[in-house]
Structure 1
């Protein structure tokens, strides 16, 4: 297959699609990232409310933290700058605002590394001394493609959006068509979120979402729940 001028090579495009797939065995489907608590305590009980809540989370939380880390970590991995990778990884762990959010990035990062070991011969050596957060592990995989950092961030954000739309369908609950409408809205807003993330300097990156943290903490003792966060 010939690639169109300026297009991402087919192999790299397929790799990004694979990385964004909810079928990837990293456990993203088991987390709602506060949505399940928001349904009980923040009035997220309709399709419109769920779409608005997730769009806000995309721009106010994901774009300012993990999405920015992915973009910066892709460059660091490609440059072989392990000190920079470690600094970004440490930042992710330090800025999780609840026990559940910390558990999520630890577990998904660990599962992602196990998958990476099946795909990349050097992954075991790289990660033996680096317990990787999920965004940093994802960036490692994306850095092994020819995709530019913005495309890697698009894939990361779309994978997040698919998981969150599926969580809304299960927990609100909503029908599949409503879930697809929510996913369509998030997909339309992801490019702007990626631009926002890639424009952030280190001192502008942040993971300060106090009400989301409160909901996550409340979820730890939520009586009836489907998800791990």
Structure 2
């Protein structure tokens, strides 16, 4: 299961906290959970994120991300948007998806979000699309509401990045973003945050392996408390994050 240097560098760019998607502005409902004391230390944070990744929104997103290597992106996107359990979850995934598409267009022949391909005067693309891209076109057109896992997954598939590597990076980014929220709000120390990410590594690995072979029939969540937290965040009196 090898990965080319160019693909690895691209993946490191796209899933880095420095990639300009604005992910730092969203807490995925975790801000309410911290306010409500449901998450108050490293142990409860680890359990919260693990539940999301193994049986919650993180799992659904991983499955949808994985299916981008086979399924039609537009159809997957409709399903991904329908699975958003609240207004804030919808806002988060579409804003991240749109921002990812704009930023990723620097590396691709055509932007993921927008109204067309590259202009003739823009010169050749930075990277070449794989043959898979012809079978599974990238999200583009007038519609801007693209769910983040579909925008990211379709881009990785189009450049023939191995699915398993991409899933690991995607899930790591999901966990790292939520850990960063807790480091700032609980607050956890930087060391406790790193220990949480260390303890989540086996969870990320196992979930990536499951998602790589999962079908759409494997979609489903039972993290109702996390979904309710995202809903309650919408009317939270004092908040730092957008969701």
Alpha-carbon offset, residue 191 of structure 1: 1.1
2:108 is the alignment partner of 1:108? no
Task: Give me the TM-score of the superposition, normalised by structure 1.
Answer: 0.88
The CA RMSD over aligned residues, in Å, is 1.7
- 1:63 Cα deviation from its structure 2 partner: 4.8
C-alpha displacement of 1:200? 2.5
Q: Distance in 2 between matches of 1:26 and 1:184?
A: 24
Contact kept in structure 1, 2:64 and 2:216, CA below 8 Å? no
Pair 1:161 & 2:156 matched:
no
Call closer, same or farther: CA 1:129–1:156 in 2, change over 3 Å: same
> Which of the residues 119, 143, 148 maps onto 2:107?
119
Counting helix residues as a fraction of each chain, which structure ranks higher? 1
Out of 12, 16, 20, which is 1:21 matched to? 16
Mark the runs of 5 or more structure 2 residues left unpaired by the alignment.
117-138
1:177-196 to structure 2, matched below 5 A, reads 177-196=191-210
TM, length-normalised to structure 2: 0.83
Q: Which residue of 2 aligns with 1:152?
A: 166
| Structure 1 gaps, min length 5 | 1-5, 77-83
Q: Residues 178-228 of structure 1, C-alpha deviation per residue, up to 9 Å, x if partnerless?
A: 110111122231011112223322222125532211111111111222111
Tell me if 1:44 matches 2:39. Answer: yes
Contact 2:73 2:154 survives alignment (8 Å): no
Q: How many residue pairs align between the two structures?
A: 217
User: Would the aligned equivalents of 2:67 and 2:215 in 1 still touch at CA under 8 Å?
Assistant: no
User: Is residue 56 of structure 2 the alignment partner of residue 68 of structure 1?
Assistant: no
